[in-house]
Amino acid sequence: MNTARRRGEIVGWVVSAVALIAGFVLILIGIATPPSASFGWFAYAPLSNYAYVAGAPGLAIPPVTAVGFTLFVIGLVGVAFLVGIRVGARRRV
C-alpha cells in the first residue's frame, strides 16, 4: 500500500472516530440535560387557521440529541466503509 493511500486511510479513521465520539458526547448531553420549560403570554385568541404546538414540530427529542445521533451514524458509516475497504484489500492478495 502506498504512502498517500495509507495517509488517506488514517485520516478517514480519525474523522470517523471523531464523529463517533462527538456524536456520543452530544447524545449524552442531550439525555442528561432536562428539557427547559418556557412560559410566556398566552391569554389571547390564536388565529383561526393556525394551531399552536409547543416545541419543535415533529421532533420528539432535543435538537442536541438529534445532532448527536446524526454524527454518530455518520461515524458508523465511515467506520463500516473503512472496514469494508480493509477486508476487500485483504481478500485480493
Report in angstroms the alpha-carbon separations of 77 from 16, 19, 48, 58, 69: 8, 10, 46, 25, 12
Distance CA 85, CA 20 (A): 19
Q: Indicate the pTM of the whole model.
A: 0.69
Has residue 35 got a pLDDT over 80? no
Other CB atoms within a 10 A radius of the CB of residue 93 amount to 4
Indicate if the alpha-carbon torsion angle 75, 76, 80, 83 is positive or negative: positive
Q: Are the C-beta atoms of residues 13 and 85 closer than 8 Å to each other?
A: no
| Residue written as grid cell 442528561 | 32
Per-residue pLDDT, 45: 62
The predicted model gives 68-79 an average pLDDT of 95
User: Which pLDDT belongs to residue 44?
Assistant: 66
Query: Does the pLDDT at position 90 exceed 90?
Result: no
